């Protein structure tokens, strides 16, 4: 059983660490939103794993709260960024699509080489 503990928490922990990496380096706000969402769901999964392995039902209500919090958080940030949308042409449409930030970086790396 100990092996199972270490394996499950190890997998979840590495996943959470990788999500934290994206949270740290993610070039845009949306990357960070996605990373936060993933992180919260991994935390919820960790709580559920704890509840299942220890047969401990006390953390289950916390699980409900965390899973709903992830949804509310990402939707509110998405709405906030959506409110920043600009329509510069005046007819309600967005202007065309310039390159994404990552694409610009990739192009400049290509040019350097």
Partner 1 sequence: MSEVQTAADVLAVVLLLLGAFLCLTAGLGLVRFPDVLTRMHAGTKPQVLGVLLIMVGAAIRLQGWSATWMLLLVAVFQMLTAPVSAHMISRVAYRRRHVRRDRLFVDELRTGEASDRLYRGDEPADAPPEEPARALVESRREDGDLAPD
- Interface ranges with partner 1 (CB under 8 A): 4, 7-9, 11-12, 14-19, 21-22, 27-31, 33-35, 37-38, 41-42, 44-45, 48-49, 51-53, 55, 57, 60-61, 63-64, 67-68, 70-71, 74-75, 78-79, 81-82, 84-86, 88, 93-103, 106-107
Within 10 Å of residue 35's Cβ, how many Cβ atoms?
A: 19
Nearer to partner 1, 82 or 111 (CB): 82
Tokens of 69: 């919090």
| Residue 110 C-beta: closest distance to partner 1, Å | 10
| 20 contacts 35 by C-beta, under 8 angstroms | yes
Residues 6+ apart with CB under 8 A from 97: none
| Residue 111 C-beta: closest distance to partner 1, Å | 13
Cα gap 104→44, rounded to integer Å: 36
């Amino acid at each position: 059983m100990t092996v199972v503990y270490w394996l499950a928490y190890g997998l979840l922990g590495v996943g959470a660490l990788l999500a934290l990496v994206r949270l740290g380096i993610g070039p845009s706000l949306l990357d960070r939103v996605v990373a936060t969402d993933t992180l919260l769901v991994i935390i919820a999964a960790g709580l559920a794993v704890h509840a299942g392995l220890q047969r401990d039902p006390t953390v289950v209500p916390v699980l409900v709260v965390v899973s709903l919090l992830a949804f509310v958080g990402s939707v509110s940030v998405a709405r906030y960024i959506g409110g920043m949308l600009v329509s510069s042409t005046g007819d309600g449409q967005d202007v065309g699509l310039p390159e994404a930030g990552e694409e610009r970086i990739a192009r400049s790396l290509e040019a350097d080489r």
